[in-house]
């Protein structure tokens, strides 16, 4: 079992050493207040598919963020030792991720989501011992997927979406998911920082479709308000 991340992650880790919140968002994170939370940006690798990132899709019946793809994560509990513990606990509760299978690499800058007043710390990690994952609570999570980086950076899968509020931001179309908002903003920045991004047409803008989420197979080892960011 190799815990050291592969060399392809090194350029990203080097760049994150000087990363600021301004690299990810136009909003200034407040120094006080806001509900502490964390998400897990879990990078892995599969034979024949290359590097990937774990993403879940919220259930269509939820009151907030229904049907929206997202990183595993949520609000901090008083028992959590730190944001890393929050991210790993939430990933375990949502998709059954074994915390022992993960090596945490870095904490990204805290990012503020004003509509919910969440202050979110994305926690970057390497999945050194991947295993099958699946929605543990179908009423909350409809689908779990490992999205290959090669598909995310494919110009054919990149676009921008226009929110009903008029906001326009980056998005990705991959594995039947439209990834947008907070998650797409963080992904877009990390792909640039890691040197993986490819040129794509920013002229492709679509209206944000009605939200829906349908159950799908779990992401095993053999399977191929956030709008303020970016």
Taking the C-alpha atoms of residue 71 and residue 186, their distance in angstroms, rounded to an integer, is: 10
Residue range 113-167, pLDDT digits in tens: 877 778 999 999 999 999 999 999 888 898 999 999 999 999 999 999 998 888 8
Q: Which residues, 6+ apart, have CB-to-CB distance to 30 below 8 Å?
A: 112, 119
Q: Determine the pLDDT at residue 213.
A: 43
pLDDT band with cut points at 50, 70 and 90 for residue 58: confident
In whole angstroms, give the CA distance from residue 92 to residue 204.
36
Closest CA to 229 of 91, 124, 118, 66: 118
Average pLDDT of the chain is: 87
Residue 32 scores a pLDDT above 90: no
Mean pLDDT of all residues in 38-61: 90
The tokens for 122 are 């994305």
pLDDT tens column, 72-125 = 999 999 999 999 999 999 999 999 999 999 999 999 999 988 777 789 999 999
- Residue 89: predicted pLDDT: 97
71-95 in b/e form (b: 16+ CB < 10 A) is bbbbebeeebeebbbbbbbbbbebb
Distance CA 14, CA 116 (A): 31
Residues paired with residue 219 on neighbouring β-strands, in sequence order: 133
Q: Please state the rounded mean pLDDT for residues 10-19.
A: 97
Q: How far is CA 206 from CA 1, 24, 106, 209, in A?
A: 43, 22, 34, 8
Q: pLDDT-based confidence at 65, cuts 50/70/90?
A: low
């Amino acid at each position: 079992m190799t815990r050291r991340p592969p060399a392809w992650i090194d350029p990203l880790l080097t760049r994150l050493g000087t990363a600021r919140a301004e690299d990810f968002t136009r909003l200034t994170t407040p120094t006080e207040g806001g509900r502490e939370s964390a998400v897990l940006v879990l990078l892995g690798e599969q034979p024949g598919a290359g590097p990937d990132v774990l993403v879940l899709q919220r259930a269509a019946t939820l009151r907030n963020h229904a049907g929206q793809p997202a990183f595993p994560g949520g609000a901090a509990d008083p028992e959590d030792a730190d944001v890393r513990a929050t991210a790993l606990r939430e990933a375990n509760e949502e998709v059954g991720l074994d915390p022992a299978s993960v090596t945490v690499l870095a904490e990204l800058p805290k990012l503020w989501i004003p509509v919910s007043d969440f202050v979110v710390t994305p926690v970057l990690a390497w999945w050194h011992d991947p295993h099958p994952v699946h929605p543990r609570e179908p009423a909350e999570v409809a689908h779990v997927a490992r999205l290959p980086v090669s598909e995310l950076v494919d110009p054919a899968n990149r676009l921008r979406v226009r929110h009903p509020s008029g906001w326009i931001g980056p998005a990705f179309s991959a594995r039947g998911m439209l990834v947008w908002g907070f998650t797409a903003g963080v992904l877009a920045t990390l792909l640039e920082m890691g040197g993986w991004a490819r040129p794509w047409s920013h002229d492709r803008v679509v209206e944000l479709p009605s939200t829906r989420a349908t159950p799908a197979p779990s992401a095993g080892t053999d399977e191929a308000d956030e709008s303020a960011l970016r």
